[in-house]
């Protein structure tokens, strides 16, 4: 079992709902492979509860970073202080329509690497990448967006993606990405 499973088990034990996003979710969904040694997790947790609930679930075996408010989200990381090298990045969204819906739409898979785990849908992964790309379609997120559109756009819920892309202010980035992907 992947060592990152331990991170998920600690979240489950602490009663913190979460789902996998980012490049790990791309890999779980069969959209590619990147040799990263981190895992990105979206948490359903009030920022005020971070130090009281999450931190004790990981320390002292992990170093847990202070929660930082960046844009519409709070970010933190945990890194295991010894043994296999890996890092978990935590995302807590400010309350918004998309964040709540994405948490509800995440679905459980029996992943060959992580075991039973909740993972982002392809639609929400696309929206997350569009938001993280910050308008830059030439970087890492932009390449993932192109890859996702090329492989899955025909099967995605277009109305859902367009509605939340508009709400997140990335509708123009989506339009440009679709143009580049030739879809």
Partner 1 sequence: MPGPDQFERELMELELHEDPRARAARLASGRWITQLRLWAAMERDGVTEPGARAAFLCHALYPDLSEDLVRRLVEAVRAQAVAGEPPLRRPARAADTVGEALEALMAEFGYPVEA
Q: Does 147 bind partner 1 (CB under 8 A)?
A: yes
Please say which residue, 10 or 163, places its beta carbon nearer to partner 1.
10
Spell out a b/e string for 107-133, using b for 16 or more CB atoms within 10 Å of the CB, else e. eeeebeebeebbbbbbbbbbbbbbbbb
CA distance 169 to 25: 23
Q: Does 68 bind partner 1 (CB under 8 A)?
A: yes
The angle formed by the CA atoms of residues 160, 162 and 164, to the nearest 5 degrees, is 70
Q: Does 47 bind partner 1 (CB under 8 A)?
A: no
Q: Does 29 bind partner 1 (CB under 8 A)?
A: yes
When binding is defined by CB under 8 A, the residue of 14, 151, 156, 171 that contacts partner 1 is 151
CB of 64 to partner 1, least distance (A): 8
Please say which residue, 32 or 135, places its beta carbon nearer to partner 1.
32
CB of 97 to partner 1, least distance (A): 27
Q: Does 53 bind partner 1 (CB under 8 A)?
A: no
Phi-psi region of 30 (alpha: psi -120 to 50; beta: other; left: phi over 0): left
The angle formed by the CA atoms of residues 37, 19 and 9, to the nearest 5 degrees, is 70
Please say which residue, 99 or 146, places its beta carbon nearer to partner 1.
146
């Amino acid at each position: 079992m992947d060592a990152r499973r331990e991170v998920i088990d600690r979240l489950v034990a602490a009663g913190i709902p979460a789902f996998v996003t980012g490049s790990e979710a791309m890999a779980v969904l069969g959209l590619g492979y990147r040799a990263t040694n981190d895992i990105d997790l979206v948490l359903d947790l009030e920022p005020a509860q971070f130090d009281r609930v999450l931190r004790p679930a990981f320390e002292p075996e992990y170093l847990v970073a202070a929660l930082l408010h960046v844009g519409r989200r709070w970010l933190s990381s945990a890194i295991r202080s010894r043994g296999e090298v890996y890092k978990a990045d935590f995302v807590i969204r400010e309350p918004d329509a998309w964040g709540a819906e994405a948490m509800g739409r995440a679905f459980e898979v029996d992943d060959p690497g992580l075991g039973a785990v909740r993972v982002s849908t392809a639609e929400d992964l696309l929206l997350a990448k569009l938001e993280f790309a910050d308008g830059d379609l030439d970087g890492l997120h932009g390449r993932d967006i192109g890859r996702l559109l090329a492989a899955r756009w025909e099967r995605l819920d277009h109305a859902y993606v367009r509605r939340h892309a508009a709400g997140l202010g990335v509708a123009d980035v989506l339009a440009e990405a679709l143009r580049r992907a030739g879809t």
